[in-house]
């Protein structure tokens, strides 16, 4: 983790990410930038964070470990988002692990110094409420969809969400974790999509050939 304390850089980042509009001025005066490399752990599981993070750039994945030792991917976090809000609110549960998937840049606010100011600021609290309510809603819908549909529909949807330049290139290991199925089963369904002329394997991923069929599968929601 790299720490940056240059006020100009912090301010630029805050403005660029949109966080500047609702951060109290005195909280911002304590801010640092924390940069994490890809694959670095932003937080390990159960760790109590010293900083409230506003994720300005990057994405991460959240893990939790079940009591039988099995590790599950909970979800992906995409900037702009928050990390540590439960601890900020003194409402902590056992923290999940967070691992950067690509380089991640956070505006880091030390909790001790900033908690009071943040928790008395209605502008900030409203934004936090909006973020949390959307997060809760989105997760509920994802969860409900996952329970209701077989993998082929869920994968189609996942492909639509993650496709870039017509190419689906997520790591199967991560996709299977996220979709809650075995690697083998994911591969089986992908092979089925290829056999059905929906996807075509290329050197750098899978190209979507039949958008309509994919859309049909994805829209079973």
Partner DNA sequence: ACAGTGATATGAGAAATCTCATATCACTGG
Partner DNA sequence: CCAGTGATATGAGATTTCTCATATCACTGT
Task: Tell me if 142 contacts a copy of itself by CB under 8 A.
Answer: yes
| 51, β-bridge pairs | 110
* Interface size with DNA, residues (CB under 7 A): 18
Residues 21, 129, 183, 219: which binds DNA (CB under 7 A)?
Answer: 183
Residues 201, 211, 215, 219: which binds DNA (CB under 7 A)?
Answer: 201
Nearest approach, Cβ of residue 87 and a copy of itself (Å):
10
Query: What gap in Å lies between CA 27 and CA 42, rounded to an integer?
Result: 21
182 binds, among DNA, a copy of itself, none (CB under 5 to 8 A by kind): DNA
In the bound state with a copy of itself, the residue whose beta carbon lies nearer, of 14 and 83, is: 83
Residues 125, 194, 209, 213: which binds a copy of itself (CB under 8 A)?
Answer: 125
| Binding letters toward DNA, positions 135-154, x by CB under 7 A | ---------------xxx--
6 binds, among a copy of itself, DNA, none (CB under 5 to 8 A by kind): none
* Backbone φ and ψ of 109, nearest 5°: -110, 120
Residues 42, 85, 107, 176: which binds a copy of itself (CB under 8 A)?
Answer: 85
Contact residues for 121 (Cβ-Cβ < 8 A; gap 6+): 22, 24, 27
Residue 45, phi-psi category: left (phi > 0), alpha (psi -120 to 50), beta (remainder): beta
Candidate segments 18-26, 103-111, 137-145, 190-198, binder of a copy of itself by CB under 8 A: 137-145
Residues 152-181 interacting with DNA (rule: CB under 7 A):
152, 171-173, 180-181
Residues 3, 8, 25, 66: which binds a copy of itself (CB under 8 A)?
Answer: 66
Residues 5, 6, 112, 133: which binds a copy of itself (CB under 8 A)?
Answer: 133
Residue among 42, 54, 167 at smallest CA distance from 95? 42
In the bound state with a copy of itself, the residue whose beta carbon lies nearer, of 13 and 121, is: 121
Chain contacts with DNA (rule: CB under 7 A) = 150-152, 171-173, 180-185, 187-191, 201
């Amino acid at each position: 983790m790299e720490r940056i304390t240059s006020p100009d850089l912090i301010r630029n980042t805050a403005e660029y990410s949109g966080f500047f509009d609702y951060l109290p001025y005195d909280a911002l005066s304590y801010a640092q930038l924390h940069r994490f490399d890809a694959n670095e752990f932003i937080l390990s599981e159960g760790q109590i964070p010293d900083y409230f993070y506003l994720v300005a750039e990057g994405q991460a994945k959240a893990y939790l470990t079940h009591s039988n030792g099995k590790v599950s991917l909970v979800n992906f976090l995409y900037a702009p988002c928050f990390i540590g809000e439960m601890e900020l609110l003194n409402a902590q549960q056992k923290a999940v692990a967070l691992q950067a998937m690509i380089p991640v840049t956070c505006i880091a606010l030390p909790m001790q110094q900033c908690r009071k100011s943040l928790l008395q600021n209605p502008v900030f609290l409203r934004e936090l409420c909006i973020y949390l309510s959307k997060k809760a809603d989105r997760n509920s819908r994802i969860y409900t969809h996952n329970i209701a549909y077989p993998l082929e529909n869920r994968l189609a949807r996942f492909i639509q969400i993650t496709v870039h330049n017509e190419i689906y290139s997520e790591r199967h290991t991560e996709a299977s974790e996220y979709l809650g199925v075995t690697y083998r089963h994911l591969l089986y369904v992908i092979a089925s999509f290829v056999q059905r002329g929906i996807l075509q394997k290329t050197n750098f991923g899978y190209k979507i050939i039949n958008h309509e069929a994919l859309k049909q599968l994805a829209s079973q929601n």
